[in-house]
Amino acid sequence: MSSEKILDVLRAPHISEKTARLQEVSNQYVFEVSQVATKADVKEAVETLFDVKVEDVNLLTVKGKRKTFRFRAGRRGDWRKAYVKLAEGQSIDVMAKP
């Protein structure tokens, strides 16, 4: 997989208290991914970029919230996230700076 395709599939790591707990308990990492990415695309991108073995990928579409701004109704865009489970003994440092 080319580096352009990898960066198109994986947008950013999703970091929150829930994802930190998932990393500790079940060795799962959460990434924001492209709307058109498949499980196979995400698996290949994570394995190539981080040099790890991926066991399982679950995709989830997060619906955008309805918001108002200066008395105008609007809606934030939908986005997609992937829960990636790694093989036993492997990890990713999502907070590392290049």
Cβ neighbours for 92, distance < 8 A, ≥ 6 positions apart: 29, 46, 50, 52, 86
**Residue bearing tokens 């698996």:** 43
Instruction: Tell whether the model's pLDDT for residue 11 goes beyond 90.
Output: yes
Kindly state the average pLDDT of the residues 2-26.
Answer: 92
Domains of the chain, by residue range, sit at 3-86
At 98, the pLDDT band (50, 70, 90 cuts) reads low
CA distances from 94 to 36, 53, 74 (A): 23, 16, 32
Instruction: Tell whether the model's pLDDT for residue 73 goes beyond 80.
Output: yes
Cα(84)–Cα(25) distance, rounded to whole angstroms? Answer: 13
* Strand, helix or coil for residue 14: coil
Q: Which CATH number fits domain 3-86: 3.40.190.10, 3.30.70.330, 3.10.20.740, 3.40.50.300?
A: 3.30.70.330
Instruction: Tell whether the model's pLDDT for residue 97 goes beyond 90.
Output: no
pLDDT of residue 3: 83
pLDDT of residue 95: 77
Cα(47)–Cα(6) distance, rounded to whole angstroms? Answer: 10
At 94, the pLDDT band (50, 70, 90 cuts) reads confident
